[in-house]
Amino acid sequence: MLPNQGLRRALGPRQVQLLSIGGVIGVGLFYGAGVALKLAGPAVIVDYVLGGIIVAIVMRALGEMTVEEPLAGSFSRFANQSFGEMWGFLTGGMWWFFWVATVMSELAAIGLLIQYWFVSFPPWIPGFIALVLFVISNLFSVEVFGELEFWFAILKILAIASFMVLGLLMAIMAINGAGLSNLWTHGGFFPQGLSGVLQAVSLVVLGYSGVETLAVTAGETGRPYEAIPQAVSNVSWRIAILYIGSIAVMLMAFSWTSLAGHHMSPYVLLFAKAGIPLAATIVNVIIISSGLSSSNTGLYGGSRMLFSMAKDGYLPGVLNHLSRYKVPKLAVLMTGLGMSFGIVITYLAPNSVYVWISSASAFAAIWTWSMILLSEITLRRRKGGKAASLRYPLPLWPVLPIAGLVLLALMLGAIMMSPLTEVSVWSGIIWLGFLVMWWFLYSKKHSRQQQTSENGLKAANKQLP
């Protein structure tokens, strides 16, 4: 039996594969794509294509390492092994911050989406109710989490598939101005210039972020050596279809200028435009469920990262205590408490909260992806760069991970150059500074290498085919 730090290996292959898609498809796509389109025009698809390439490379690199060592808190541990304990701690802390900020934006968006039916309804109330419910569900059993995400993911995939079919039909039949010409006839492909493309980058990063949660599930996944490669192999082409495909359909179904005057999701607007109000209502319900799903995933992933860091002594040991359901109860509660600040911000600034918090999570996402690629390069070099000794090696090494790092550097530069999104860099730097202080004041004195656990894992790995 694989060491798993006391967590139950209760997630099956079907749940892990759907989690790899469900975790990334949230309001960042359904709602954030419309915001990004207003900033960049049709050229936003350039951001989504580059983001898709980065995600494919990052996931393949992460898959290689996770199959070798399937533990909770995986990429923080890989950074630990590659560059030392402090870097592992910083990576785990930045990823926790990413999920807290992301879920805050998802909960804010849920409240705004409710206003599709109830214009004057306070947007902070739905987010508060959702957060309480997910904290309760995460306190009981990982099976509950896995099953919820499985069905949430199916609903989201069905919504996107329906959107793509209807949008293509409208474009082919040229209904209500839909057509391929929308890509260039309203001010050109780059109507907002390069600056618009740069401003949309952080929202695109947010849209893709979360897919790496797949690796965090490894500590609670049955037969991880089979489930993880299957999920990683499927995630790239699914993202290409569901993300880039639906964005392309959106650009054909609408002129980007018509979207600029609407606050609702483009996915809802399409069905309303087609004269199917009931379908628009159903899709809005599914979009809200996608925000709930992403929030559920974020609470799960963030709590498991706190658990893993506490297990290593970076955080107070009380956070690694498991309930009788084998769930890190206090880590769940602490993560939920962090996310609750988003409810307060939504109450104070409901009109601007989504874009601000969305961009605030981008720096942490880029940090996490960069550390995954740097760790893969470092650990692979220690093995002589050879793929023969690995169960699931990243192909075209080291070209792919280096290309991924270059693209991430370009994305970070784009975010830093935009006045609209530079807050993401500053908020990330402030949080990083806090983590560095915590490391020297607490973690460095209390941390302890899990040598026994690692030796047990290596021994278990040798016994597996």
- Residue 111 and residue 129: Cα distance in Å, rounded? 10
pTM as predicted: 0.79
462 within some domain: no
For residue 458, is it within any domain?
no
User: 73: helix, coil or strand?
Assistant: coil
The CATH number for 431's domain is 1.20.1740.10
- Cα–Cα distances in Å, from 306 out to 76, 155, 281, 333? 11, 29, 38, 11
| 34: Cα separation from own chain's centroid | 18
Query: 359: Cβ–Cβ under 8 A, 6 or more apart, which residues?
Result: 202, 203, 206, 415, 420, 421, 423, 424
Q: Is residue 459 part of a domain?
A: no
Structure confidence at residue 213 (pLDDT): 66
Which pLDDT score is estimated for 375? 93
pLDDT at 26: 62
Look at residue 455 and tell me if it is in a domain.
no
| Pairwise CA distance, residues 306 & 99, whole Å | 12
Cβ(337)–Cβ(132) below 8 Å: no
How many domains are contained in the chain?
1
Task: Give the residue numbers spanning the domain of 351.
Answer: 13-448
> Does some domain include residue 60?
yes
Partnered with residue 184 across adjacent β-strands are none
233 with 248: CB under 8 angstroms? Answer: no
Residue 7 lies in a domain: no
Please report whether residue 454 resides in a domain. no
User: What is the distance between the alpha carbons of residues 457 and 452, in angstroms, rounded to a whole number?
Assistant: 9
* Residue 2 placed within a domain: no
* Block mean pLDDT (10 aa), the chain, length 465: 44 53 62 77 88 87 82 73 90 87 81 81 85 82 64 77 83 79 86 84 76 60 66 72 82 79 71 75 80 78 84 86 82 89 74 64 87 92 79 88 93 79 78 93 74 45 44
pLDDT for position 261: 62
Q: What is the total residue count of the chain?
A: 465
